[in-house]
Structure 1
Amino acid sequence: MLALSAEGTLPRVDYAIFADTGWEPKAVYDHLDRLEREIAQPAGIPILRVSSGNIRADALDPGHRFASMPLHILNKDGRAGMTRRQCTGEYKIKPIKKKVRELLGHPYPARIPKGVFVEQWVGISTDEFHRAKDADVKYMRNRHPLITDMNWSRSDCVRYLTSLGLADTPKSSCLGCPFHGNAQWRHIRDTSPEEWQDVVEFDAAIRQGNARANASGNHLLGEAFLHRSRVPLSDAPIDHVTAAEWAARQRELGDGQEPDAVEAELGVADGCSPWACRGDAEALPVQGDFGLAS
């Protein structure tokens, strides 16, 4: 959408906002720098980087209230579960809304006058039109130009990015996101030893729950893991690829494949989107506050 706006195919936007969790892969930050340098700045479009903090550091800080990731949990009775997903709201949506209020000239807790709003573009394509939703606040009005203006599918978007030399656009998501598939874990391990060591250490550090809960005596009822196999990431079966997973690599995500097999290999599509997070933490029993019983 930024490129389409910069070249004039779509109207010129006033700003682009990137919500930084503080724990993105280096490739994402490098790509963002390239977009800013080659596309946004020449078109006079400011990219605003906003943040609520560093999600990795916050999880390990006993003095910080942590908005939990959707970690994979192995309960004491052997049942599988997940912790409640709060990270998207805290580290993506909250800082974006805060910045939007500032741009409107009415920072929290000031009341925003009736009729004052921003038009916010959300990059959902036609193959996921059902994710196109209205904003939940009156000072933001969602627009979905890939659907309403371009009538573009995911494949159309990929072709366009390829034409701009941006075919290698990386997924934006936390380095240690529990929604990663095996392909993403292997990519980190095989291409970035430092980042792999980082996620392995974090996986071990959160095994018994978040630091603040443990410091207050509210221990995790079970064990937490980053990998869906619910074994330590250093030992997880990320090299095992089933026949269905191999087939999934050869076609568009979800095209005739079993969803579980596709996600096991490729992960949740498109990374972490503030307004259309594809991870479904409700698929398994959910525990509150980083795995504590609700």
Structure 2
Amino acid sequence: MLALSANGVLPKVDYAIFADTGWEPRTVYAHLDRLEREVAAPAGIPILRVSAGNIRNDALNPERRFASMPLYIRNPDGKEGMTRRQCTGEYKIKPIKKKVRELLEYPYPQRIPKDVFVEQWVGISTDEFHRAKDSDVKYMRNRHPLIDLDWSRADCVRYLTSLGLADTPKSSCLGCPFHGNAQWRHIRDTSAVEWRDVVEFDAAIRKGNARANAEGNMLLGEAYLHRSRIPLDQAPIDHVTAAEQAALQDELADEQDAELGVLNGCSPWACRGEVEAAQGDFGLAA
């Protein structure tokens, strides 16, 4: 959408906002710098970077309230589940709303008049039109330009390729539990530093969140980043089953996430990783 706006296909936007969780792959930060330098700045479009902190550091800090990631859990009785996903709301949606209020010159807790609002563009393509939703606040009105253009994901890829941006990386936390095996392999095989980072984090969250441990709360189960509920450096990320291969060919869509994970990355208003929590939080007393 930024490129479409910068090149006049869509109207020129006032701002582009990037919500930084503090734990994106280095390729994402490098690509963002390139977009700012080669696309946004020449078109006079400011890119505003907002943040609520570093999600990795916060998760391991007993002094911080941890906005739960959707971790895979194995309970003491052997039952498996996932923790609720709070990270998108805390580290993406909230800081964006805060910045929007500042741009409107009505910072919290000021009341925003009914006739004051922004038009917010959300990059959902026709492949996932069902995820196009209205904003939950009146001062932000959602619009979905890609759907208005009748563009699919493939159309977006073709357009980016035509601009020399075919290598656009997926934006999501380095240690997002919704990664598929292909993403975990990519981290392991292309960046030893980042692989060591996620393996260390996976081990650090095994016995509960930092605050719960510091307070001596009774554990409810073990937490993992990989869906197999096996330590990440031992998880079967090299194994591609027949069902997963078929998913790559769009023959078994229900099995696709096992290999590719969440295809569209982590979008503030369109995270595909929607799961029912098995319990409220990991590592807290029942």
Q: TM-score range by the shorter chain?
A: over 0.9
State the TM-score, normalizing by the size of structure 2: 0.97
Query: Partner letter of residue 120 of structure 2?
Result: Q
Q: How does 1:240-279 map to 2 (within 5 A)?
A: 240-249=239-248, 251=249, 255-259=250-254, 261-279=255-273
Structure 2 partner of 1:20: 20
Do 1:122 and 1:275's aligned partners in 2 also have CA atoms closer than 8 Å? yes
Query: Partner letter of residue 236 of structure 2?
Result: P
Q: How does 1:153-172 map to 2 (within 5 A)?
A: 153-172=152-171
Do 1:287 and 1:293's aligned partners in 2 also have CA atoms closer than 8 Å? no
- Find the aligned partners of 1:202 and 1:179 in 2 and give their Cα distance: 15
Structure 1 residue matching 2:94: 3-state secondary structure: helix
Q: CA deviation at 1:74?
A: 0.5
Q: Give the share of equivalent positions with the same residue, in percent.
A: 81
Residue 93 of structure 2 corresponds to residue 93 of structure 1:
yes
Structure 2 residue matching 1:220: 3-state secondary structure: coil
Q: How does 1:37-186 map to 2 (within 5 A)?
A: 37-148=37-148, 150-186=149-185
Q: CA deviation at 1:289?
A: 2.5
Q: CA deviation at 1:246?
A: 2.3
Do 1:84 and 1:291's aligned partners in 2 also have CA atoms closer than 8 Å? no
State the TM-score, normalizing by the size of structure 1: 0.95
Structure 1 partner of 2:201: 202
CA-to-partner distance for each residue in 1:145-197, whole Å, 9 max, x for gaps? 0012x110111111111111111111100000000000000000000000000
- Find the aligned partners of 1:183 and 1:293 in 2 and give their Cα distance: 35
Do 2:4 and 2:10's aligned partners in 1 also have CA atoms closer than 8 Å? yes
Do 1:176 and 1:199's aligned partners in 2 also have CA atoms closer than 8 Å? yes
Q: CA deviation at 1:215?
A: 1.2
Moved >6 Å (runs of 4+): none
Query: Which 5+ residue runs of structure 2 have no aligned equivalent?
Result: none
CA-to-partner distance for each residue in 1:99-150, whole Å, 9 max, x for gaps? 00000000111111121000000000111111000000000000000012x1
Q: CA deviation at 1:290?
A: 3.1
- Find the aligned partners of 2:243 and 2:98 in 1 and give their Cα distance: 43
Total equivalences in the alignment: 286
Structure 1 pair 220/170, CA: closer, same or farther in 2 (3 Å)?
A: farther
Query: Which 5+ residue runs of structure 1 have no aligned equivalent?
Result: none
